[in-house]
Structure 1
Amino acid sequence: MSTVSDGERLAPVLAAAPAADGEFVEITDADVDQVVELWQACGLTRPWNDPHVDIAEARAGAASTVLIARAGGRVVASAMAGHDGHRGWLYYVAVAPDLQGSGLGRAAVVAAEAWLVARGARKIQLMVRTTNTGVLGFYERLGYADQECTVLGRWVEPR
């Protein structure tokens, strides 16, 4: 990956296609099933969120995307990124269980951050389920900290 000046900051930019193993690119139609399998293997899916719908919605607009990395012909890492007009958000950061600890998680976050910064994000946030305490140290090492807020939500349509 190369870097590009963004004021006083340097932000990695996505490498041009075709991507070599480990480079992050935007998801294609052919990748969707592998990404869903990856998310399931990492315990990120929930019965009330259809991952196929989440992917389709992320790909539908210019303010969000799903970035993936491949190795040996398979999808091994992902990060969904979205910009809400105020901040950037990360979702579905995943690395194949057999490759966790290899640096792909950090690379996924860096690629997603770069995508968001290129679209004007000045702050990037993510949510971690209270049951997923094992990942907190990973995000802390990347500079993420508890924002001392509670996320509330409600469904506005029947599920």
Structure 2
Amino acid sequence: MTGFRDIADADIEQVVALWQTCNLTRPWNDPYRDIAFARQAKTSTILVREQDGRIAATVMAGHDGHRGTLYYVAVDPLVQRQGLGRAAVRAAEAWLAERGVWKVNLLVRSENATVSGFYQALGYEVNPVICLGRKIEDHPALPSTVSGQAQ
């Protein structure tokens, strides 16, 4: 099952709506900014799959030249359990492999045990690491947003 393609401008509103439906967005992460950021570099993409004329699945993939990372793996709840989540992950892995990336990481929120089981069934395993983070929101090199649309 393939059928994934790069996101197009016309897909953005449907993609954001799907991410919101799947509870993937958070108040501190502007999905429009995330989309714009992923689309501006050759090291990242957002892959989408349509079904019945609308976006049914997405995955954002990127790499730092060493390891790949997956984000925003989403499947419309109306078509879940049909293999679209697995297909999204495999499409992103293929995209990364084409660019020479041989290891993929992803983050799952600790309260989302169901999704952890999904990824483990795909061969992902919990790594004995701690993920640390720091926001650098006010850095002048970061793009700003206005009304949810990236500039």
Q: Deviations over 1:37-82 (max 9, x none)?
A: 0000000000000000000100000000000000111000000000
Which secondary structure does the structure 2 equivalent of 1:156 belong to? coil
From 53, 57, 62, the counterpart of 2:42: 62
Look up the match of 2:149: none
Higher relative CO (CA 8 A, sep ≥ 6), structure 1 or 2? 2
1:6-155 equivalences under 5 Å are 23-155=3-135
- Unmatched tracts of structure 1, length 5 or more: 2-21
- Unmatched tracts of structure 2, length 5 or more: 139-143, 145-151
Matched letter for residue 46 of structure 2 = V
- Separation in 1, partners of 2:37, 2:137: 16
Matched letter for residue 38 of structure 1 = L
The alignment of Structure 1 onto Structure 2 pairs a total of residues equal to 139
Relative to the length of structure 1, the TM-score reads: 0.85
Relative to the length of structure 2, the TM-score reads: 0.89
- Separation in 2, partners of 1:55, 1:76: 17
After TM superposition, give the deviation of residue 131 of structure 1 in Å: 1.2
Which secondary structure does the structure 2 equivalent of 1:128 belong to? coil
- Separation in 1, partners of 2:122, 2:114: 14
- Separation in 2, partners of 1:154, 1:126: 17
Fraction of identical pairs, as percent: 58
After TM superposition, give the deviation of residue 157 of structure 1 in Å: 2.4
Q: Kindly report structure 1 stretches of 4+ aligned residues shifted beyond 6 Å.
A: none
After TM superposition, give the deviation of residue 98 of structure 1 in Å: 1.0
- Separation in 1, partners of 2:93, 2:112: 21
Matched letter for residue 90 of structure 2 = V
Are 1:157 and 2:137 matched, yes or no? Answer: yes
